[in-house]
Every structure is written in C-alpha cells, then in structure tokens.
C-alpha cells in the first residue's frame, strides 16, 4: 500500500486559510456559475439551481504545495460530471480554465477536472467565506491550488493555458505524488 502523505508534506491539524488576495464580497442573488467556451450549451446557474443537483458527500485529504497536508476533509456538493452532462463539452474541449471572483484562475485537463467535485458545504455547514463560499472546486489528487475557491465560471478550451499560479512558476499540472511543485525555469 502506498503512503498516505505525499513526499515532502507534513500533516496539520486544522485546514489553513490561504489565498493571494482578499475574500471577495459575494451577493448571492446576483452570483452565477457560468459554463462557457467549447460547450454545446452555455449555462448560467443560480445557487438555488446548484442545490438541486444531486448532492453527495466527499471525504478526502488535501495537499498544499507550500508543504502542509490536511487529512480527512469533509465536503458536500456535486460531481463535476453533473456540469459536463448539462453543458456537453465539444470534442475539442480538452482543457478547462476555472475562474474565481477574486480574479484567480487555474487550469486543468478535462480528465483531471472530471475527477474533482464542486463543494457547497464543508464539515456539515455552508462553505465559510474564507474557504470559498458559495462554491469551490476540490481536486484532491492535485495540489490544493487547483481547488479554486469562489468559483464563478468554467471555461472549456482546446489548448492548455496557465492559470494564476501556473503562470507565476507553479507546475502546469501539480501532482503531489510526483512533487510537481514548480516548473523548471
Ligand atoms: N479563488 C482562489 N482560490 C484559491 C486560492 C486563491 O488565492 N484564490 N488559493 C489556492 C491555494 S494556493 C490553496 S492552498 C487553497 C487554500 O484553501 P483553504 O483556504 O480553503 O485552505 O485554495 C486555493 N484556491
Ligand atoms: Mo496552496
């Protein structure tokens, strides 16, 4: 059996709060999740509409590139596949860019994105503002910077493009088991 904690990581007791700027102010009545780009059907979904998608529980460990890992995080939300079913990405949609209300963005291959989930609750309560209310992506198999908080849009694209940290020296993919922390430049 493989180790539970990836190389170079140390386990912390509490999930730290980490973001590059300020917590964005969200007016939930105005807020939408937009799905656009290379899709058959563009979407603009309200918080209420997302709550009606099949809700599931997710338990996972998360690993930040700065060296901490938090084991056994507990989330509720919906599978990425729900968004894929509704928007039907086109055949040439091989990547996504996930956009956030604080100006953050992160890139994922369609394959990696599909393994993640959208969280609406954390530890049994609606997501706290500092952890991404109203909606965050969680992609447990990649470093936690891929788990965008305050998500506002998913853009389906044909070619890989770097997001916020990926264009500032972080690895384009970020697999913690391979220690894909920074790009070789
Ligand atoms: N929108 C947004 N999402 C973000 C970030 C950010 O700055 N803005 N930081 C990322 C990084 S580097 C980490 S480690 C996690 C931290 O999530 P937490 O504050 O819920 O622990 O959020 C990720 N998602
Ligand atoms: Mo991070």
Assigned domain for 68 exists: no
* CA-closest residue to ligand 1 atom 23: 145
d(CA 124, CA 130): 16
Residue closest by Cα to atom 22 of ligand 1:
145
What's the total number of domains in the chain?
A: 1
- Average pLDDT over the chain reads 97
CB of residue 144 inside a 6 A radius of ligand 1? yes
The verdict on residue 134 lying in a domain is: yes
Has residue 157 been placed in a domain? yes
Specify if 151 maps to a domain. Answer: yes
CA of 104 to the centre of ligand 1 (A): 9
Range of the domain at 104: 29-56+77-178
Task: Determine the pLDDT at residue 185.
Answer: 59
Q: Which residues, other chains included, contact 155 with Cβ-Cβ below 8 Å and sequence gap of 6+?
A: 36, 37, 96, 97, 98, 99
pLDDT tens per residue, range 79-93:
999 999 999 999 999
* Reported confidence tier of residue 2, pLDDT bands at 50, 70, 90: confident
As a whole-number percent, the residues of the chain with pLDDT over 90 amount to: 98
pTM equals 0.98
pLDDT at 171: 98
> How far is C-alpha 151 from the geometric centre of its chain's CA atoms?
8
Q: Would you place residue 56 in the very low, low, confident or very high pLDDT band (cuts 50, 70, 90)?
A: very high
Q: Is residue 65 part of a domain?
A: no
Give pLDDT tens digits for 133-166: 999 999 999 999 999 999 999 999 999 999 999 9
Q: Is residue 184 very low, low, confident or very high in pLDDT (cuts 50, 70, 90)? A: confident
**Is 104 within a domain?**
yes
Residue 1: which pLDDT band, with cuts at 50, 70 and 90? low
CATH number at residue 95: 3.90.420.10
């Amino acid at each position: 059996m493989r180790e539970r904690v990836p190389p170079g990581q140390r386990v912390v007791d509490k999930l730290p709060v980490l973001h590059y700027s300020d917590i964005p102010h969200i007016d939930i009545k105005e807020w939408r999740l937009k799905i656009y780009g290379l899709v058959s059907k563009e979407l603009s979904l309200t918080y209420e509409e997302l709550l009606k998608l099949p809700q599931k529980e997710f338990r996972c460990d998360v690993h930040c590139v700065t060296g901490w890992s938090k084991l056994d995080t507990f989330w509720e939300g919906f599978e990425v596949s729900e968004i894929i079913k509704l928007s039907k990405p086109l055949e040439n949609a091989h990547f996504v860019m996930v956009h956030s209300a604080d100006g953050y963005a992160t890139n994922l291959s369609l394959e990696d994105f599909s393994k993640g989930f959208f969280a609406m609750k954390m530890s049994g309560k609606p997501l706290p503002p500092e952890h991404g209310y109203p909606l965050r992506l969680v992609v447990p198999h990649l470093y936690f910077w891929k788990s965008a908080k305050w998500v506002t849009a998913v853009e389906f694209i044909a070619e890989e493009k770097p997001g916020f940290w990926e264009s500032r020296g972080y690895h384009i993919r970020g697999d913690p088991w391979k220690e894909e922390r920074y790009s070789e430049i």
